[in-house]
């Protein structure tokens, strides 16, 4: 197969196909983490509906959507932590998420191949950091829910 004067072998096509399957599998798990985190946030505190996290799977559109996720997820977490009186960083995850979004945007601009590779590698680093940070916030919210349930059960048990 030839494209723009470049001949692609069957092995190259298979490698690209496998890479794309791995990429979209990882992206699906990431979107699922975002959705589960948003599910734990009270509806009145959300700036993003949980099902909209899946829009990050759409090629090219996700360059823009990463900025939306970083901003709205941070605002949602800020509201939720404030309501629950959980002391947490100001604008949780916003800097890491926005840095990831900027690097992804830069990596997709066809300025130079070197810049794309450089920003692509750094975006991978910030992608992992952001994903871990959001998952840690999800665990924090989940544990807080568990704590509230145990406290409620304890109070009910004491009154009977």
Q: Domain map of the chain by residue range?
A: 2-159
Token output for 158: 């004491």
Residue 114: band (very low, low, confident or very high) from pLDDT cuts 50, 70, 90: confident
Mean pLDDT (whole number) for 119-135 = 95
Mean pLDDT (whole number) for 96-124 = 90
DSSP category for residue 6: E
pLDDT beyond 90 at 115: no
Given this model, what pLDDT does residue 152 score?
83
CB atoms within 10 A of CB 124: 14
Given this model, what pLDDT does residue 160 score?
61
Residue 41: band (very low, low, confident or very high) from pLDDT cuts 50, 70, 90: very high
What integer best gives the mean pLDDT of the chain? 91
Q: For the full predicted model, state whether its pTM sits above 0.75.
A: yes
Phi and psi based region of residue 48 (left: phi greater than 0; alpha: psi -120 to 50; beta: remaining): beta
Given this model, what pLDDT does residue 131 score?
97
Token output for 59: 């090629």
């Amino acid at each position: 197969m030839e494209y723009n004067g470049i001949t692609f072998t069957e092995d190259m096509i298979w490698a690209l196909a496998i890479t794309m399957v791995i990429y979209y599998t990882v992206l699906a798990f990431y979107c699922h983490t975002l959705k589960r985190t948003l599910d734990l946030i009270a509806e009145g505190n959300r700036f993003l509906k949980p099902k909209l996290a899946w829009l990050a799977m759409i090629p090219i559109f996700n360059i823009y959507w990463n900025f939306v996720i970083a901003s709205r997820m941070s605002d949602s977490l800020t509201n939720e932590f404030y309501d629950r009186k959980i002391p947490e960083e100001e604008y949780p995850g916003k800097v890491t998420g926005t840095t990831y979004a900027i690097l992804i945007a830069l990596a997709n601009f066809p300025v130079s191949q070197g810049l794309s590779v450089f920003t692509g590698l750094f975006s991978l680093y910030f992608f992992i950091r952001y994903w871990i940070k959001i998952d840690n916030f999800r665990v924090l919210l989940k544990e807080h829910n568990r704590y509230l349930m145990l406290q409620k059960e304890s109070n009910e048990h004491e009154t009977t």
